[in-house]
Structure 1
Amino acid sequence: MAVLQDSLTRRHAADCLIDPEAYRCAELAFGPHLARLAAELGVTTHVIAVWHDIHERITRA
């Protein structure tokens, strides 16, 4: 249960911290490089990876 809660918390945080339009603009400007995207958006690479995973799953659905 704690692992599930941690995962949900991380996903919620990533969704709150990253604006989809800002991510899109950063990815167009800098490509898919996690460290560069993280620096541009002011978050960690882990937050970028979590956010990307969430939105990739939504896109596939």
Structure 2
Amino acid sequence: MSIIPLMYNICGSAQSQAALISIQQAQQLDPDPKLQIARNMLLLVEIAREHLLRIFLDWPKLF
């Protein structure tokens, strides 16, 4: 699992989460609800970071 974020330049956390969900479903495992909440929070932080990065890099060129 640790190699997944290294394989993708963008959204490494989201890619890791997708891989983990796939493995859990294949093994018919139920994720711990508290762990799932923590993963979702990390995903939201990653989304916010990606959006802010694009805003700070792209918007100045427009003005």
The interval holding the TM-score normalised by the smaller chain is 0.3 to 0.5
- Higher RCO, 1 vs 2 (CA within 8 Å, ≥6 residues apart): 1
Q: TM-score, normalised by structure 1?
A: 0.36
Q: TM-score, normalised by structure 2?
A: 0.35
Instruction: Report the structure number with the largest CA radius of gyration.
Output: 2
**If each structure's helix is expressed as a fraction of its own residues, which one has the higher value?**
1
